[in-house]
Structure 1
């Protein structure tokens, strides 16, 4: 038995196959109708739309077979994808390449095979539209031409399917961003007004004498607190605006990004006698939008420092099978059971004061969840009062890890 050769562009071909996200997908009527038509035109009991994977040929659609796939090294389609023309074996038992093939000597007892490559829009042979018989056979020129046309239709169906998925993904993203925009607008109208109205009330109060140093000294901490709240809110909103306008998934070296963010908060940590530890030793890469990931880490570390004093904030990663778990762990005041339940209600905005009465807007946590949702991930929170908290999430590993 002769095993099929590996195409010269195999790495790129497989990458294209993965990009199309069609392997192991659900049965689809359009593909089923193609194999039915191929079977009728060619007068054969078996017809297939196959996709050749690393070590298997998987059947997107099938007629006359019950199995979902067969090994690639015994496949006829593995041979067919090495050329752009139709691949025909009129009598397998008379062909030295296939006479002892398990698919010939055993079920489904192939005696005739004809397969035309299915080509992606980028020019890669993904698999075939093939017809099979249990007895030797010769197709007419008309039948061969029809098989080529049907293979072209299979290529177009895959292309249309890809475009449909892209459009659906974009629509889902637009809906998500529109929903987020509506919620952010609501937050702005409420949270921006609060500190501004508070400042206006303080400054215009008849109890405040602008010529009195004592009154102004009492006013200063209140002004500072409200301005800090406004600054945090505006920074979060600007980051949201920059990040969600153009989502760009790339390979991100998590170690570099974490150290960059930790460095930003060294001064904040020293001010509260905290130590930031970034236990990220491996050069692990994840697939993420770098701007969003930077925002997530910045807010989680800032939040940990807000509720920790004379303690530690640790950033750790745990490499799983196909993902990386990123954890921000603090030794701070922790979260009461009641408050934790409120925080876990994703549609609720919860703002609490830090160890030095630092105010928050509650917007950061909402945006973290939104950004993780775009990454098809979610935030997990573990906490115990007076012992600290762990905030964690997972991201997919880059392929070269």
Structure 2
């Protein structure tokens, strides 16, 4: 029987496997904006006085260049990579004359008058010690670096890694945000679906109406979550598309005799304020549809406008004869409006007729 302990494991192979796994985690081949890396390569060439600078990525079968200055070549076979010889080292490696160094003297890139005759590279090292490639400068004649130039090359290599770390962190943050958004959306959809099922099953008109109100409020929260996801922010919402989605949901549940008129400026609010505005609008429209029109045709108007002094004005009004008597079951909606206004630290005034209306002023 084969004893697993008898199987030889090449430490170099295992180490390279870990290195390549770390390299994949940075998804460097997916980097679209390479200008910051090109700028670093150009600066490295300028500060060292060499005509060529590269940011190399060393894979298993090839070496390719995330950035390059003074070089048209985009990649090489791994056998022709000079960087592969130095990435395991801890500091800048200098090959003053590649024609005499055993690592490079037979490299096709180093042959001929226009071949690479000078090389200096600083390894790109992750926080866990894995080596991804190098920031290197190259020349067509034997040369050397001063101590100061060596320090600059090391510093610029750290800047390359800082850029790569930042981009990986942002990508992971976006992946996490998408996962959270997906789970929140699914949860809200499940709760809304159960609420609708319960609303159809109950026999009490009051209970059915309460469940329908809950469903509308869940839809408002779902619309806010979706808008924040689309805007790429977990703190702010663009009010035009956000309110548009809220109004679309409302229109689906309005009787044909009710018209909803909307006018929203280009306004950005933090998510807390955006949610509070949506709650006010949702409750006002719900109350108006239920009480203001006495089964007659009518219009509910909502506007959200910029005002002088960085103030924002929300107006909700209907053109019905009035709300009439407020029943105990309706007081919850009015209390929710007042609570949302308190949350906004806003000022509400009732508007004179015809119809019923409120003006809410949001101050900076």
Q: Please say which structure displays the higher CA radius of gyration.
A: 2
